[in-house]
Structure 1
Amino acid sequence: MTANEDQEMELEALRSIYEGDECFKEISPVSFQFRVGDLEDTKAFILDVTWPETYPETAPQISLDAFFNNRISAETKQLILSKLEEQVEANLGTAMMYTLFEWAKENQEALMENHKPVVTAVTLTSSSEVTTTSSTARKKEKKEQLTKAQKRRIISRTDNKGELPRGWNWVDVIKLSKTGGKNDD
């Protein structure tokens, strides 16, 4: 079998195994992304794998450069890549993508053992600012909704120019004095 036939068979197998799995994403017929862990998990990471022309006889290119992995320290990335390289060497010459993905899932805890999330100040401030700004913007956009009866009353009070008569919202001072104000005892 040629390398291309091996790749086609493995691609078909990967498609059938990971069909409907949100962790697996086929970028192209020779490039894939696989997420190890849940989206909310701080120890989750994404593997970018690309097959060279002569794969599986030569090792696939594995990268952790996805934006999702920005919170992982360089040391942890290097550890993950070196452990995956060991697995690649052990499986060279065979279809190994499923094996690599499953090995990474099983050993996620060990791979991320010394992981301390890299937190940037920009991430912290921007996430809180974005939520407050968007919530206040929504409040400003919301207009007062009037019922049909309220609209009719407003229209009946207006003159032919659409203006309300002078004093329409004045308070009757005499009524206020009769109801009582502050007691000066």
Structure 2
Amino acid sequence: MTEWSHYQMELEALRSIYEGDECFKEISPVSFQFRVGDLEDRKAFILDVKWPDTYPETAPHICLDAFFNNRISAETKQLILSKLEEQVEANLGSAMMYTLFEWAKENQEALMESHRPVVTAVTLTSNTEVTAPSAAKKREKKEQLTKAQKRRMINRTDNKGELPRGWNWVDVIKQLSRTGGKDDD
């Protein structure tokens, strides 16, 4: 059997199994995304899988680089990948995507056991400002400002030191409800 027919058979099988399943996404005939867990699930993650030319004799490329996975620590990602590699080794030479996806679903809890959402710098900044406003004010004089500080400065004033026009979105909504939008003809 040629490589292409292996690809084709597995691809057809995946399409029929996951038809209408929002967890499965075919990016190209050799590239897929599979979400393990619901969108609202804090322990959900997305697997990006790409078949090399010699698949299934060669392992598929699996990565967790999707933006959706940004809140997962590097250690947890490494654990997930190493556990999946063990499964790939055990299934080399045969169609394995369904097996891998289902294994990941069944073992989601164990794979994400040590998961603690990654805390962003913006969150840390806002916490320190509550406790030490004087330190935050000093920091603003430096050229390197955090996104949160820049956002606050922009929200406060325009370059003349005045509040910019339309800064209060509630007024914009009131104005639109009074005058009607462009479409109201």
Q: Same fold (TM over 0.5)?
A: yes
For residues 3-41 of structure 1, the C-alpha deviation after alignment (integer angstroms, 9 at most, x for no partner) is 111010000000011111110000000000000011111
> Gaps (5+ residues) in structure 2?
127-146, 156-165, 180-185
| Aligned residue runs from structure 1 range 6-155, under 5 A | 6-122=6-122, 136-143=168-175, 145=178
Q: CA RMSD in A?
A: 2.5
Partner of 1:163: none
Partner of 1:150: none
Q: Report the 3-state secondary structure (helix = DSSP H, G, I; strand = E; otherwise coil) of the residue aligned with 1:26.
A: strand
Contact 1:3–1:57 (CA under 8 A) maintained in structure 2: no
Equivalent pairs, count: 142
Report the Cα distance in structure 2 between the residues aligned to 1:95 and 1:49, rounded to whole angstroms: 13
Contact 1:46–1:66 (CA under 8 A) maintained in structure 2: yes
Identity %: 78
Report the Cα distance in structure 2 between the residues aligned to 1:79 and 1:135, rounded to whole angstroms: 46
Look up the equivalent residue of 1:21 and give its one-letter code: D
For residues 123-166 of structure 1, the C-alpha deviation after alignment (integer angstroms, 9 at most, x for no partner) is 79789x8xxx99942542432649xxxxxxxxxxxxxxxxxxxx
Partner of 1:153: none
Look up the equivalent residue of 1:140 and give its one-letter code: V
Residues 108 and 142 from structure 1, CA distance in 2 versus in 1: closer, same or farther, beyond 3 angstroms?
same
Partner of 1:177: none
Report the Cα distance in structure 1 between the residues aligned to 2:40 and 2:174, rounded to whole angstroms: 32
Look up the equivalent residue of 1:137 and give its one-letter code: W
Deviation (angstroms), 1:121 = 3.5
Q: Report the 3-state secondary structure (helix = DSSP H, G, I; strand = E; otherwise coil) of the residue aligned with 2:41.
A: coil
Compute the TM-score of the two structures, normalised by the length of structure 2: 0.70
Report the Cα distance in structure 2 between the residues aligned to 1:18 and 1:122, rounded to whole angstroms: 38
Look up the equivalent residue of 1:86 and give its one-letter code: E
Report the Cα distance in structure 1 between the residues aligned to 2:63 and 2:111, rounded to whole angstroms: 15
> Gaps (5+ residues) in structure 1?
147-185
Larger radius of gyration: 1
